[in-house]
Amino acid sequence: MFAVTILGNNSAIPTPDRHPTSQVITYNDQLILVDCGEGTQMQLQRYKIKRGRIRHIFISHLHGDHYFGLIGLINSMSLLGRIEPLSVYGPPELEEILQIQLHVAATTLNFELNFHPLLPGQTGIVLKEKEMEVSFFPTRHRIPCYGFSFSLQRRKRRIIPEQARIYEIPASFYSKLQEGADYERKDGKLVKNDWVTLPPPRAKRYVYCADSIYDEDLVPHMREADIVYHETTYLHDLSQRAADRFHSTTVQAATLAKMAGAHRLLIGHFSSKYTELQPFLDETIPVFPKTELAIEGVTYLI
């Protein structure tokens, strides 16, 4: 299981049926939260997502619609008896903000809160464990802002059952075959691993581009991703307003996805001025046909 669930798809101002940015990535039995706008913990409850399974939280930047829900979520986790450590990744100023909020409320958390600063001018891998690897990269916004690339690599080789039977390899040895081991038969003959297995499937990748003006420097980070999420705050007739506010339009997001050879494009961060979202698809699909709206409560398989 590798998927992303949309909790909030709106920009700065919430509406009755759309919330500020937040997403949950599911891989195996683990959850990663990406941005935490106002109301995120209510959305987690609404869609029956267990907040106790969240081990990592990534905050792209310090505009409120991307992190104003964070301290509330952290506090609720503690009140509900969480003891497992929680890792937060974001701009360095976020650590001070969290500590001030905890201090003035005289709050002591039940769990260890580990903060990992994303420093300006840097990029690269920020999390690597088992099958999941997360890297970060800068986007062009009014304040320091980062996108994230989530890569899931199945490291076990795939067994070819027919071949394994031909070489009389017992099923009890299959787990070692998946790890790449050769098999020595009772007659002394060595069965090479690649005779009976296939390489692991290619890594699947989800790229979250956060807030950004149109920027072709993002293309290498989006290259051939299974799904790219890119903001489309405005329809294309407001491209000048988008540029003035360091946001993007439908056509701009679709153009970048096309340039990057992405497999699918997910668009969101819609301005509250729009009540209907179909026009976003109407403008995006002619440029990049495999575009979908980021709809709250919907889970997209990667």
Q: Is 215 a catalytic residue?
A: no
3-state SS, one letter per residue, for the chain: CEEEEEEECECCCCECCECECEEEEEECCEEEEEEECCCHHHHHHHCCCCHHHEEEEECCCCCHHHCCCHHHHHHHHHHCCCCCCEEEEECCHHHHHHHHHHHHCCCCCCCCEEEEECCCCCCEEEEEECCEEEEEEEECCCCCEEEEEEEECCCCCEECHHHHHHCCCCHHHHHHHHCCCCEECCCCCEECHHHHEECCCCCEEEEECCCCCCCHHHHHHHCCCCEEEEECCECHHHHHHHHHCCCCEHHHHHHHHHHHCCCCEEEECECCCCCCCHHHHHHHCCCCCCEEECCCCCEEEC
Pick the catalytic residue from 17, 29, 65, 194.
65
CA 298 to chain centre: 14
Report how far Cα 221 is from the mean position of its chain's Cα atoms: 13
Q: Which residues are catalytic?
A: 65
